[in-house]
Amino acid sequence: MATTFKQLGLIGCGLMGGSFALALKQAGMVERVIGYSKSPSTTEKARQLGVIDQVAESALLAVSGADIVLIAVPVAATEATFRAIKHLVSPDVLFMDVGSTKRDVVDAARRSLKERAVAFVPAHPITGKELSGVQHADASLYRDRQVILTPIAQTLPSLVEKAQEVWTAIGSQVRIMTPESHDAAFAAVSHLPHLLAFAFFTGILQQAESEEFLALAGPGFRDFTRIAASDPAVWRDILIANREEVLRQSEHFRGALGVLEKVLRDCEGESLEALVRGVSEARSQWRMGAPRAR
């Protein structure tokens, strides 16, 4: 089944938006990409790199004439984007975002789009790089990755179906969740790890010996802290938007850390080994993106 579009309106020409445009182009699913970014230099770079074909002077002009629109801006900028484009939001066009939190995005859509929110299919692709910016856009960023769609009661089923077709066509596995269970799950497996990686790296930087420490760090440190290099504005928005769930997850974590610290302090080697063995076996068996239905 061929899902093709005449024109993609891309609002936000960064890593996520740029990669989506490239993926659609590579799959031969879109004739033309019109892009808008807050920063004119970003849009110009996206055009020079062939990620977009034409620069739009505003978000509204990026939507004009499009039959598919992707909003790929930091989460906190989503509502302002909805307001800027709402007069052109209609059920003839598939509107999606790529935000890592969904309750706030859905609330923003209800508030600002009102009954036009039927055309908006909230989406969260589980992917990313620690490198942001359109220069790192990659047509394969979404391939073999999960994409979570979180439609609400009024979302048009025909558009949810079309959204599924689009992501499937560029190699993603689509799952449907409620915005609430989405946000709870991603607080646990994504937002908290980012908070912990930021905190851990901060703890190192605060010490007088930090330069010496960092010169000695090896591959375990490299992988553990990779996400600490993530984009500050993006993560400010995600952590603030989902702060209640993130703080709840942090409590779980502190409890588990406290138990390990107590066992260490008391020098209980056997208990420590048993605790680590349980984790180590569970982590060894885990495989990324293995949907439960398989």
Taking Cα atoms as reference points, which of 16, 246, 46, 237 lies closest to residue 147? Answer: 16
Query: Which C-beta is closer to a copy of itself: that of 3 or that of 150?
Result: 150
Among 126, 137, 149, 160, binds a copy of itself (CB under 8 A): 126
Q: Does 157 bind a copy of itself (CB under 8 A)?
A: no
**Interface with a copy of itself, residue 215, by CB under 8 A:** yes
**Shortest Cβ 229–a copy of itself spacing (Å):** 4
**Binders of a copy of itself: how many residues, by CB under 8 A?**
96
Contact between 227 and a copy of itself per CB under 8 A: yes
Here's the x/- map for a copy of itself, 231-250, by CB under 8 A: it reads as xxx-xxx-xx--x--xx-xx
Please tell me whether residue 289 binds a copy of itself under the rule CB under 8 A: yes
At residue 178's C-alpha, the angle toward residues 173 and 148, to 5°, is 20
In the DSSP assignment, the letter for residue 207 is S
* 1 or 216: CB nearest a copy of itself: 216
d(CA 174, CA 185): 16
Asked if 189 contacts 27 with a C-beta cutoff of 8 angstroms, the reply is no
Asked whether position 106 contacts a copy of itself by CB under 8 A, the answer is: no
Q: Which residues pair with 95 in a beta bridge?
A: 69, 120
Which stretch in 30-38, 55-63, 163-171, 218-226 sits in contact with a copy of itself by CB under 8 A? 218-226
Q: Does 150 bind a copy of itself (CB under 8 A)?
A: no
Site for a copy of itself in 27-66 (CB under 8 A): none
Which helix (H) or strand (E) segment is 95 a member of? strand 94-97
User: Residue from 130, 154, 161, 176 that binds a copy of itself (CB under 8 A)?
Assistant: 130
Other Cβ atoms less than 10 A from the Cβ of 114: the count is: 11
Q: Which range touches a copy of itself (CB under 8 A), out of 5-13, 107-115, 156-164, 224-232?
A: 224-232
CB of 269 to a copy of itself, least distance (A): 5
- Single-letter code of the amino acid located at 238: I
CB atoms within 10 A of CB 220: 8
Angle, CA 187 vertex, CA 183 and CA 191 arms, to 5°? 125
Segment contacting a copy of itself (CB under 8 A): 8-16, 33-41, 161-169, 223-231?
A: 223-231
Helices 243-265, 269-285: axis angle to 10 degrees equals 140
